[in-house]
Amino acid sequence: MEKLSRQEEQAMQAVWKTGEGNVKLFLENMPSGVMPYTTLASTIKNLEKKGFLSGRLIGNAYLYKPLISEDEYKKKFMNGFVKEYFADSYKQLVNFFLEEKKLSPKELKEIIDLIEKQASK
């Protein structure tokens, strides 16, 4: 699965938030002024061509629905991101955030607790 552009991700966020809908509904579920209707409509068509959405004609309007969940996309994107930028090492990823002071000791402790909780299942 290919990485989406920022514009495509913004459109998919609106689709995931809406569920099945048309371009007008997706636009209503986006922050004001992010992109004009025509841009969103073309982006939606591209996402359909790429296999992220399915579309069907109902009357004179197309209804679209996601073919991949937000969680599935995040999982595939993050796995590729860690592989490409951190030599497939989540340890290096966490270390990066520590060095950049993006994680506090309290947050790191919470992450460790989550890992230990998962390991005990």
What average pLDDT score do residues 3-17 get?
Answer: 95
Digit-coded pLDDT (tens) for 45-78: 999 999 999 999 999 999 999 999 999 999 988 8
Q: Is the pLDDT of residue 1 over 90?
A: no
Q: How confident is the model at residue 88 (pLDDT cuts 50, 70, 90)?
A: very high
Cα–Cα distance for residue pair 26/36, rounded to 1 Å: 11
Average pLDDT on 5-25 reads 96
The rounded mean pLDDT for the chain is 93
In a domain, 62, yes or no: yes
Regarding whether 46 and 96 lie in a shared domain, the answer is no
| pLDDT at position 80 | 87
CATH number at residue 12: 1.10.10.10
For residue 1, give every residue at least 6 positions away whose Cβ sits within 8 Å of its Cβ, in sequence order, or none.
Answer: 68, 73, 76
Position 71 in a domain: no
| Number of domains making up the chain | 2
What is the domain range of residue 31? 6-66
* Mean pLDDT score, 73-96: 91
Same domain, residue pair 62 and 94: no
- Select, from the ranges 1-10, 34-43, 91-100, the one with the highest average predicted confidence (pLDDT): 34-43
The answer to whether residue 72 is domain-embedded is: no
Q: Do 19 and 56 lie in a common domain?
A: yes
> Which string of DSSP letters, residue by residue, matches 69-93?
-HHHHHHHHHHHHHHHHSTT-HHHH
Go through the chain and tell me how many residues it has. 121
